[in-house]
Amino acid sequence: MFLVEIRDLVETDLDKVMEIENLCFVAPWKKEDIIRELTNNQFATLLVATINNEVVGYVDYWVTFDSATICQIAVHPNYHRQAIGSKLLQEVFKDCYAKKVLTITLEVRESNSKGINFYTKHGFNQFLVKPNYYSNGENAIYMMKGVELNG
Ligand SMILES: CC(C)(COP(=O)(O)OP(=O)(O)OC[C@H]1O[C@@H](n2cnc3c(N)ncnc32)[C@H](O)[C@@H]1OP(=O)(O)O)[C@@H](O)C(=O)NCCC(=O)NCCS
């Protein structure tokens, strides 16, 4: 067993975050995109999950008044299916609850069945399909969940 800790993402985490980003996504964000989220987006919160101080996952979400959006969440493939993504998401839920957010939304690629399973397990419902949402023409599934105590 290992201890997973969650803390704010800081600039020195960026190389490790980019490594995970490149391993996890077909169209990964560039380093500048994450720096912009970190330094120039008042609505964004970025958290990392660590094991023995090594970054193994991260999440980026926006809180705007009574709603929130999960923009990106990823766990290093060596650590998949060990509840690290769930732990990150629980932190998001806790923060949203504290900030009186009512709904959390997200888009996920139609082909990303494990991502859809992951969100479904955490109470998100498939709300609608956004056609041609991604640059390769793929549809997005728009998912939504109400915020309640204990996720
Ligand atoms: C989606 C992701 C963040 C999940 O992280 P994780 O730490 O592996 O997930 P968890 O161990 O917390 O899994 C929680 C639940 O999600 C679902 N899930 C996770 N991985 C799955 C997989 N490979 N196949 C099917 N369901 C899966 C399961 O319901 C799982 O519960 P269970 O293990 O009790 O069956 C991770 O797979 C990832 O980084 N994927 C690539 C990036 C991505 O697709 N992000 C989401 C879209 S932005």
Sketch out the chain's domains with CATH numbers. Answer: 4-146 (3.40.630.30)
Structure confidence at residue 140 (pLDDT): 98
Task: Report the nearest atom of ligand 1 relative to the CA of 24.
Answer: 41
| Distance of CA 35 from the midpoint of ligand 1 (Å) | 25
Up-side HSE of residue 129: CA atoms within 13 Å toward CB? 7
Q: In degrees to the nearest 10, what's the CA dihedral of 77, 38, 46, 20?
A: 0
Give the pairing type, strands 67-75 and 125-130: unpaired
Strand (E) or helix (H) holding 84: helix 84-98
> Taking the chain (151 residues) in consecutive chunks of 10 residues, what is each chunk's mean pLDDT?
94 97 95 96 98 98 97 97 98 96 97 98 97 96 89 59
| Distance of CA 134 from the midpoint of ligand 1 (Å) | 21
* Residues whose beta carbon lies within 6 Å of some atom of ligand 1: 24, 72-75, 80-86, 108, 112, 114-115, 117-118, 121
Radius of gyration of the chain (CA): 15
Q: Would the pTM of this model clear 0.85, i.e. be above it? A: yes
